[in-house]
Amino acid sequence: MANKKKVVLVGCGMVGMSFAYALLNQNICEELVLIDLDKKKTVGEAMDLNHGLAFAKGNMQIYSGEYSDCHDATLVVICAGAPQKPGETRLDLLSKNTKILKSIVDPITESGFNGIFLVASNPVDILTRIVQRLSGFNPKRVIGSGTTLDTARLRYMLGHKLNCDPRNIHAYVIGEHGDSEFVPWSQAMLATKPILDIVDKDDKFVEELNAIEDDVRNSAYKIIEAKRATYYGIGMALCRITKAILDNEHAVLSCSCMLTGEYGQEGMYIGTPAIINRNGVQKVIELNITADERDKLVKSCETLDEAYNELFKKN
């Protein structure tokens, strides 16, 4: 598997196929396997993608497969799950999607799969933790999409506000991918200049930063209300994480990773900046956040931990 770029996608709904389409357009992998309960759909999706190969940057082998095809995959990406409905929080999805995951992880591990799990199903932090528990894999090889998309939304909005390229904004959303996520503004930079220095003594600008944080937190709800689901943004985010893994980039991305003492937390999966490479999570980067920001992170962890523990009490 040293040089193999084989990806297995489990769950071919709008999120999964947005991811697959992005993979094809960016020529990220060499082999893509589609798995879904609806086998007929995966056959049709594979045909549709293959018909675009003549216009793609490179060549890919794309086909409908089975869990047995996971045995030599580098990466298994899980997008399967019930969709988030209008007015429904990500945590409301937990019970439904946990049952779905249990039916997925066992046949994957039984295939002999020994690569990396990338989880996108919501609530992603808890479900990534559950995939790690079910698979027994080293936590470094079980990653969630985390706050990667939230961070992209933040940088887009800040770039628009500051009239600069979002790629020159260095700021992160951390914590739960959900209602308790937050922006550690003490660590937000435009190039190497702290954004809080830019807004110093400008109360109106500070209010606008708070509004941006609220907009980032509520973006998914607004999109779901308008078009019933979000999928393009998360598809691109998954594609970015996949590229970092397959190309061994050592890229810093705000994925959902297990904390092993960082921020005083142990065994929790939360969105946090981390170095991502061919082996999964090389290192979680612990930000030098303020005491107030640390309190927010602790509360976010407590929210996730309570939901996780409540789930296993019921089961």
Give CA–CA dist 313/95, Å, rounded: 12
Phi/psi at 309 (5° precision): -70, -35
CA distance 136 to 114: 11
Spell out the SS3 assignment of 183-234.
CCHHHCEECCEEHHHHCCCCHHHHHHHHHHHHHHHHHHHHHHHHHCCCCHHH
Catalytically annotated residue among 71, 170, 177, 250: 177
Length of the chain: 315
Catalytic site residue 160? no
What is the set of active-site residues? 177
